[in-house]
A and B are shown apart, each in its own frame.
Chain A
Amino acid sequence: MNYREKREPSSPDLDDVLGQLIYQALSAEVRGTEPSPRVWKNIYQGAIDIRDARLDKKPRGFSLSFLSNLLAFLSDENWEDRLSRQRPMPLWSDYLLLVA
């Protein structure tokens, strides 16, 4: 129930009088005001920017960056260490020590 629905014209009380005064004072401050047309122009442009930024973020098929990342990974990785971590196997160097 809002302020207008609560009011009963037949029995105006103190809060009704005050409520009317508050309404009149507040509405006088904003009556007849409208935002300027530039606001919509800015919103429209801003929305297009948001949409374009989202489109830029979406992955578009095969990327060359994937290939370069893979090459960097293969060249940097210490394969012996990596394989030994994945499977609990002795290092190749341990076999060499045994043979020696």
Chain B
Amino acid sequence: MSLRNQDGELIFRICQGDMQALGVLYEKYKTQMFRTALAITRDPGAAEDILQEGFLRLYANATRLDEKRSLAPWLYRVIVNLSYNWVTRRGRWMVPLEHAIERLRSGPKSSPEKVMEQSEVQQVVQEALDSLSFKHRVVLMLFYLNEFSLKEVAYILDLPEGTVKSRLYYGRKRLRACLRKDSRVLGGMAYELS
């Protein structure tokens, strides 16, 4: 009896040279992987390049993958690493925290239409997330947006579970501090977060 899951079957077919199987995997994972890369890089062009590179690595390393294990964590790991490399090369999240807080206080710079679409609180949270370092933001993103468990986040980032937990704690703490300081956050919510 084969212990391969659906992804495992497709990986096996890729190893046999079946390009259609690669297409099936791409269709299955393209959106979540693209959005993960986009959430980290904030650059649609970069997110597409990262998605492309990630799937080419999948193709190149298909024979080394364990067909019995889920592909998603491995693929997320590749996409997050590639995104991290891109961010590091571009020097993003290197702005001093004071600059980010100043930007946060100076109000939204988006178009009026966009501001209308987003609630004030959401805007503030987004800006507060921007003020976090990459390592804290990516943990929050994987935990809250992708809804991974601490163990899965630890695997994807290749970190001990305790480190993930502490980064999550620190990220939330910083966010709370940013939100409390911001006058745009409603009084009640600011109180709730204090």
- Which stretch of A28-36, A67-75, A87-95 is in the interface? A28-36
- Which stretch of B3-11, B49-57, B88-96 is in the interface? B49-57
Chain A contact residues (Cβ within 8 angstroms of B): what range? Answer: 35 or more
Q: How far is the CA of A61 from the CA of B68 in the complex (A)?
A: 35
A35 CB to nearest chain B CB (Å): 4
Q: How far is the CA of A2 from the CA of B144 in the complex (A)?
A: 8
Would A35 and B145 be within 8 Å (CB), given that A24-B125, A25-B126, A30-B38 are in contact? no
CB-based nearest B residue for A18: B172
Q: How far is the CA of A4 from the CA of B143 in the complex (A)?
A: 9
CB-based nearest B residue for A36: B48
Indicate whether B85 reaches chain A with its CB closer than 8 angstroms. no
Q: Which chain A residues border B175 with CB–CB below 8 Å? A: 18, 22
Would A22 and B140 be within 8 Å (CB), given that A29-B42, A39-B51 are in contact? yes
* Pairwise interchain contact A2-B59, C-beta atoms closer than 8 A: no
Interface residues of A (CB under 8 A from B): 1-5, 14-15, 17-19, 21-30, 33-36, 38-40, 42-44, 46-48, 50-51
